[in-house]
Amino acid sequence: MNKKKTTIKDIANVLDISPAAVSKAMHDDPRISAKTKNAVKRVARELNYQPNHLASALRSGKSNLVGVIVPRTNSNFFSSVIENMEGVLNKAGYNIIITQSNESFEKECKNIDTLLFTQVDGIIASMANETVDLSHYEKIKSKGIPLILFDRGENDLNVDYIGIDDYESSHMIIEHLTAIGCKRIAHIGGFRRTRIFNNRIRGFIDALHKHNLPHDKHLLIESSLTLEDGRLKMQELLSLDNPPDAVYVASDYAALGALQVLNEQHVKVPEEMCLVGFGNEPFTSLVSPTITTVKQHSEQIGKIAAETFIKRIEAKNWKPKLEKNILKSELIIRNSSNRHLSIKSS
Reply yes or no on whether the pLDDT at 200 is more than 50: yes
50-68 in b/e form (b: 16+ CB < 10 A) is eeeeeebbeeeeebbbbbb
pLDDT tier at 343, thresholds 50, 70, 90: very low
| Amino acid letter for position 233 | K
189 beta partners:
222
In this prediction the pTM is: 0.81
Determine if residue 271 is left, alpha or beta; phi over 0 gives left, psi from -120 to 50 gives alpha, anything else beta: alpha
CB 225 within 8 A of CB 190: yes
pLDDT at 342: 43
Which of these CATH numbers, 3.40.50.10900, 3.40.50.2020, 3.40.640.10, 3.40.50.2300, describes 64-163+297-327? 3.40.50.2300
| Alpha-carbon torsion angle 285, 290, 291, 292, nearest 10 | 90
Q: Distance between CA atoms of 89 and 76, rounded to whole angstroms?
A: 20
From the list 283, 163, 193, 182, the residue with the least C-alpha distance to 230 is 283
**Local structure of residue 197 (DSSP, 8 states):** H
Percent of the residues in the chain that have a pLDDT greater than 70, as a whole number? 92
Reply yes or no on whether the pLDDT at 196 is more than 70: yes
Round to the nearest angstrom and report the end-to-end CA distance of the chain: 71
Handedness of CA 58, 62, 64, 66 (dihedral sign): positive
Please check whether the two domains, 64-163+297-327 and 166-296+331-345, share a CATH topology.
yes
The pLDDT tens digits of the residues spanning 164-175 come to: 999 999 999 999
CB 147 within 8 A of CB 153: no
The pLDDT tens digits of the residues spanning 236-275 come to: 999 999 999 999 999 999 999 999 999 999 999 999 999 9
CB 270 within 8 A of CB 263: no
pLDDT tier at 55, thresholds 50, 70, 90: low
Range picked from 22-26, 62-66, 170-174 for highest mean pLDDT = 170-174
Q: Distance between CA atoms of 294 and 142, rounded to whole angstroms?
A: 36
- Give residue limits of the domains in the chain: 8-51, 64-163+297-327, 166-296+331-345
Which of these CATH numbers, 1.20.1250.10, 3.40.50.2300, 3.30.300.130, 3.40.50.150, describes 166-296+331-345? 3.40.50.2300
Q: Distance between CA atoms of 263 and 340, rounded to whole angstroms?
A: 20
Reply yes or no on whether the pLDDT at 8 is more than 80: yes
The pLDDT tens digits of the residues spanning 128-172 come to: 988 989 999 999 999 989 999 999 886 678 899 999 999 999 999
Q: Distance between CA atoms of 202 and 207, rounded to whole angstroms?
A: 8
